[in-house]
Structure 1
Amino acid sequence: MHSNQKFMISITKLNKIDFLVLIAILMIGLVHLPFPFDGDQAFFRLGAWEMQQGKVLYRDFWDIKQPGIFCFYFLAGTLFSFDEIGIHIFELIYMILLSITLQLTLKSYFRHQIIASLVPLLTVGVYYIVSGAWHLTQVEALVGFPLFLCLWLTFKSFKSDGKQRFYLLLLSGFIGGIVLLFKFILLLILLSFWLTIWMYSLLIQRHSIQKNSIEIFLPLFIGIIFPLSVVASYFLWVNSFSIVYQTFFIYPPLIIANSEFHITEFISGIKWFVQNFYPLILMAIVTVYVSLHKSKNILTLLLVVWCIFAFGIIVLQQAALWEYHYLLLFVPTGILATKGLDILWGSLKELRSLIPTTLLIFLLFFPLSSMLTKKSVALVTNNFALTEETRLKYQAVFRNKYPSLHSEANFISQSGSIAGEIYVAGDPSIYYFSRRSQATILRGWALEYFLPEQWTALIEQLDSSKPPYIFIDYKSQAIIKENSPKMLEFVGRRYQILRQNNNGIWYLLKK
């Protein structure tokens, strides 16, 4: 049977409520299509756009992140467009596929089918509702889909043996390799899944250590090595493997060694997660309690393990403890919360009055509904952001700096402006609005993570490329002054101030 036929048969397993939930996810996602880029998203878009222009990632455009996020934006931009709507359309399709996958794979996990249908709302729906410009289309949000597939394939292999187990684990390893192409440190979550099945086979099925290890880790290794080998072969082919190796394995430990644990950012991230996800957290606690004391469900255990190791990964990234890192938790937390609702549903149905149930649901989800209402009202008020002018007004609601960044780009897009690549030490949205590319290999975003040798290389690249315009915002200027005064000396010697305002300083290359 062809894969298309199998997919169509699987889709027919969805009931009317499933489709209504998917339509709800679609409507929630559509509200977010015109959402503005934040600095990270503008930078990922810039890298993907540079790739489309023929530049090689890391060799011609450098960042410390793994290639998965740039490939995602590259596909989104190529299939649709390299603007906010194009990127967000691709993300919405991706999230709807995740929603369908959750509905198809988790039917047997829930006792009540009406609750099973709701799992996309408590995962993907909540993700969209709580996310702002900074959170959408981040690595941590996107990896939830392949991580879930790895978890589910691992879970299915519990009940399989022989060739079926081999192929399930082979596919789990393959998808795990794709996860690593987004972020290497996520290997810890993958290992937590795979070690769980190893221990289960050892303790419950009484397999020998040698047989158990070979049966489990051999297909996983074969699967995981394939996507990694393909990517490594590509970088060998374009003579970039050396810089890729340094980027992935040399620079990260050095950056962590030179950084401090930011307790303020850590607390801020936890606060954001708790404030936005507390209804799900409360219901997830119900699931964990019941599972530990009664059912001891293996799938629940895997989801809890995911949460524990994801939180550990967040803490390990002490150089950057940002809010969006907690999106690693939105899929397992949402599934556990749905299971908690499933457990409570039996008791709620026995109540003679619907008032307590309605009140409970209202109290739990009112903050989420109010956030979605605010976004929807802003979209309607600005005529659904259909024109460039109304879109910018809508975007300014969620990122008030966006119009001023647009203005900075317009400044170097006037008639008579010098053509060519530019360098922005600050928000990469200026590249996006000006439709210009980056004149250097090294970025101008997140300069606080630069190593000493990179500052020297950046000056050399600026000297070689001679961009007609350089923009430095005040935050970046302070970072440069502290870490590389020679760069400010170089700019002052080779460039003259063209314009200075509240955003930063434009410099023009001296003739």
Structure 2
Amino acid sequence: MITVLSIIAIVGSIKSFTVLGGDQSLFVVIAQMFDAGKILYKDLFDFKQPGIFIFYFFAGKTLGWSDVGIHYFELGYWLIFSLVLYFSIKQYSLFYKNELSSSLFPLFVIGVYYCNAAALQLTQLEALINVPLYLIVWLLDKAYKNKINLLIAYFLVGLLMGIVVLCKLIYIPIIFAFMLIHFIFCLKNKGLTHILVTQLPPIIIGFVIPIIIFLNYVFTHHIENLVTDIFFKIPTQVINLGDQVHPERLLNSIKWFGKLMIIYLILAAIGIFLTPKKELHFFGMIIAWGIIGFALIVIQKTSWWSYHFQLLYVPIALFSVLALDYLIYHLLVYVELNNSLKRIPIILIIIAFVTHNQFKSLEISLYSQNYARLLGYDYAKNHVLSVLNLLKEKDTIYVCGNPRKYLITSRLPELSTNGWILEYQLDYQWENFYQEFRNKPPTYLFISKEYENLIPTKQPKLWSFITEKYNQLSLEETGIWYKNSKN
């Protein structure tokens, strides 16, 4: 396990120098605005639930707002989870070679994640959510077996469920499946009274605590209507935007994940058939996680980004380890190698074969100027130089495109419209954008290439106002900078 932790720490440290992608830059911007006293959602709109912004807020306040600071905070998060995975799975005695395979579990979750992830996939919610989901499964299983204080266990389960809901509402079916499986097993072995009296009250209390904290913030800042729209109304309308359904994106995401994870997927398919009957309660929830998680990825038809598949790392890793442990043990028995020193090379060769794709991916990323800051490269820095040299203290900027430009210029957006997700804007949001922009035009405006046609199509009045009031300042690789003609 010391070796595994060392590998994760080294690979995680290397990847911590990766430049923040567009999504991650947006999370930092929103977290910085929250830190500056701005109101969540009201001062900068976004569709996501608050959990990811709070994670970035704690990261920024703890280790600073830099790319490295955010990523090192994440690395600490994963190292702690590595220990949780190791000590929790070791208690089950699932493996023939228990010490080795228990150590491979965190390696196959977190080490694989780090090797696979580039700028687009690092520090995304879909990966981070593996932690509370696994803790829910593990605590429920401990409670089912009466190996932990039931009051504390169920309270923590409720608390973690509340956190998951505040991270991504669409994951409710996963935690519902966990609870349904748990209640079915408990109903058979412990009875309905035990569920109603012992389990539900602490779960409910734990669940409502994070919800009440968030609702208190919502009502204090009078954004209840806005939050209701974000959580329930807008997602159902966005998912019906036919022009944002791109099957090729889903296909590319599946190819990305499948190519990197093919060996683990094959092993996981084998591992499912090796599930111990005595652990059906635990593994039933893990299987539900994998099946429902994949279904939830598919139904998000206006997204289908590659990082969504990171939700599945724990289920795939656990069944992969189960199968690999079985294969290694029976291979060593078959070749009749009793000498430990002679077994080590065979085991290392097998592990190297399984992890080959991941370390190949890591090697490629180290030599890629698109992602590795180790080479002193920032993909967005050259795109703001023309403005950076002109910016005065009172000047404001607005970016229709990658929000990383805010971080490089040390400016926060003055308008509430989210320029990173304009393609998902509904008609009334485009009208609000026009009114807001007209009332508070920024000094400098950036419009990325993908939005050059979208803005005049969706909101001709806004485009007319821009062409009338702004002069082109510079043509960049990714778009055009404009300057307000009155400044």
Taking structure 1 as the reference length, the TM-score comes to 0.87
Tell me, what secondary structure is at the counterpart of 1:496? strand
Q: Structure 2 CA distance, aligned partners of 1:202 and 1:332?
A: 25
Shift of 1:338: 1.6
Q: In structure 2, which of residues 17, 31, 36 is the aligned counterpart of residue 53 of structure 1?
A: 36
Q: Deviations over 1:280-313 (max 9, x none)?
A: 2122122201227x66633222211110111111
Shift of 1:173: 1.0
Aligned equivalent of 2:355, options 341, 362, 365: 365
- Alignment partner, residue 119 of structure 1: 105
Distance in 2 of aligned mates of 1:41 and 1:68: 13
- Aligned partner of 1:273: which letter? F
Aligned-pair CA distance for 1:349: 2.6
State how far apart, in whole Å, the 2-side matches of 1:54 and 1:444 are: 21
User: What's the CA shift for 1:378?
Assistant: 6.5
Given that 2:154 and 2:199 are in contact with CA atoms closer than 8 Å, whether structure 1 keeps it comes out as yes
Distance (Å, rounded) in 2 between the aligned partners of 1:467 and 1:56: 20
**2:274–2:322 contact (8 Å) kept in structure 1:** no
Match status 1:176 vs 2:151: no
Counterparts of residues 422-433 of structure 1 (less than 5 Å): 422-433=397-408
Tell me the equivalent position of 1:491.
Answer: 466
Q: CA deviation at 1:268?
A: 1.7
The answer to whether the 8 Å contact 2:397/2:444 transfers is yes
TM-superposed deviation, 1:480: 1.4
**Structure-2 residue corresponding to 1:287:** 271
Q: Secondary structure at the match of 1:423?
A: strand
Cross-structure match for 2:302 = 319
Which one of 130, 133, 141 corresponds to residue 116 of structure 2?
A: 130
Match of 1:266 among 246, 250, 263: 250
Structure 1 residues 49-90: Cα deviation after superposition (integer angstroms, max 9, x where no partner): 111222111111211101111111111111112121011010
| TM-fit CA distance, 1:465 | 2.1
In 1: Cα distance, 2:279 partner to 2:158 partner:
26
- TM-score by length of structure 2 reads 0.91
Q: Is the 8 A contact 1:439 1:462 kept in 2?
A: no
1:78 aligns with 2:61: yes
Q: Distance in 2 between matches of 1:412 and 1:54?
A: 27
What is the total number of aligned residue pairs between the two structures? 473
Kept in 2: contact 1:177–1:226 (CA 8 A): yes
| Letter of the structure 1 residue corresponding to residue 153 of structure 2 | L
Which residue of 259, 273, 286 maps to 1:275?
Answer: 259
Separation in 2, partners of 1:222, 1:417: 51
- Amino acid across the alignment from 2:462: M
Is contact 2:182–2:281 with CA below 8 Å preserved after alignment? no
**2:194 equivalent to 1:207:** no
Q: Aligned equivalents of 1:23 and 1:364: distance in 2?
A: 19
Query: Secondary structure of the equivalent of 1:117?
Result: helix
1:174 aligned partner, one-letter code: L
1:41 is aligned to 2:31: no
- Secondary structure of 1:498 counterpart: strand
Equivalent residue, structure 2, for 1:437: 412
Give, in whole Å, the separation in 2 of the partners of 1:21 and 1:365: 13
What is residue 194 of structure 1 aligned with on the other side?
Answer: 179
Other-structure match for 2:126? 140
Distance 1:268 1:485, change over 3 A: same
1:419 CA displacement: 3.7
Q: Distance in 2 between matches of 1:214 and 1:317?
A: 37
Q: In the aligned structure 2, how far is the partner of 1:378 from the partner of 1:249?
A: 40
Q: In angstroms, what is the RMSD of aligned CA positions? A: 2.2
Contact kept in structure 2, 1:25 and 1:124, CA below 8 Å: yes
Instruction: Find the aligned partners of 2:422 and 2:330 in 1 and give their Cα distance.
Output: 55
Q: CA deviation at 1:215?
A: 4.1
Q: Describe the SS at the equivalent of 2:411.
A: coil
| 2:483 counterpart letter in structure 1 | L
- Aligned positions of 1:87-486 closer than 5 A: 87-109=70-92, 110-111=94-95, 112-160=98-146, 164-203=149-188, 205=189, 207-208=191-192, 212-213=195-196, 215-259=198-242, 261-291=245-275, 297-350=280-333, 351-352=335-336, 359-376=349-366, 385=374, 390-392=375-377, 402=379, 405-415=380-390, 417=392, 419-486=394-461
Opposite residue 275 of structure 2, the aligned amino acid is S
The Cα of 1:357 is off from its aligned counterpart by 5.1
Contact 1:421–1:439 (Cα < 8 Å) also in 2: yes
**Equivalent pair of 1:31/1:375 in contact (CA under 8 Å):** no
Tell me how far 1:343 sits from its aligned partner: 2.2
Moved more, 496-505 or 298-307: 496-505
**Unpaired stretches in structure 1, ≥5 consecutive residues:** 1-17, 396-401
Distance in structure 1 (CA, Å) of the matches to 2:269 and 2:357: 19
In structure 2, the CA distance between the partners of 1:290 and 1:416, relative to structure 1 (3 Å rule), is closer
Residues of 1 paired with 2:448 and 2:365: CA distance?
30
CA contact (8 A) 2:257 2:309 kept: yes
1:82-121 CA-partner distances (Å, limit 9, x unpaired): 1210110100000111101111211123332221122111
The answer to which of 494-503 and 281-290 deviates more is 494-503
Name the CA distance, whole Å, in 2 between partners of 1:283 and 1:214. 41
Q: Is the 8 A contact 1:418 1:468 kept in 2?
A: no
In the TM superposition, residue 225 of structure 1 has moved relative to its aligned partner by 1.3
- Partner letter of residue 133 of structure 2? L
Relative distance call for 1:213 and 1:280 in structure 2 (3 A) is farther
Offset of residue 231 of structure 1: 0.8
- Structure 2: runs of 5 or more not aligned: 338-342
2:116–2:260 Cα contact (<8 Å) kept: yes
C-alpha distance in 2 between matches for 1:232 and 1:21: 41
Deviation, 1:464, is 2.2
Is the contact made by 2:383 and 2:477 (CA closer than 8 Å) also made in structure 1?
no
Q: Is the 8 A contact 1:409 1:431 kept in 2?
A: no
State the Cα distance separating 1:249 from its structure 2 match: 1.6
Which secondary structure does the structure 1 equivalent of 2:483 belong to? strand
Measure, in 1, the Cα distance between the counterparts of 2:114 and 2:351: 19
- Aligned-pair identity (%): 29
Following superposition, the deviation at residue 141 of structure 1 comes to 0.8
Amino acid at match of 2:224: F
Q: Distance between the aligned counterparts of 1:504 and 1:376, measured in 2?
A: 27
Distance 1:97 1:416 in 2: 42
Moved more, 364-373 or 302-311: 364-373
Structure 1 residue matching 2:273: 3-state secondary structure: helix
Deviation, structure 1 residue 230: 0.7
**Distance in 2 separating the partners of 1:149 and 1:357:** 30
Code of the residue aligned with 2:250 in structure 1: it is F
Question: Per the alignment, in what secondary structure is the counterpart of residue 66 of structure 1?
Answer: coil
Q: Secondary structure of the residue that 1:497 maps to in structure 2?
A: strand
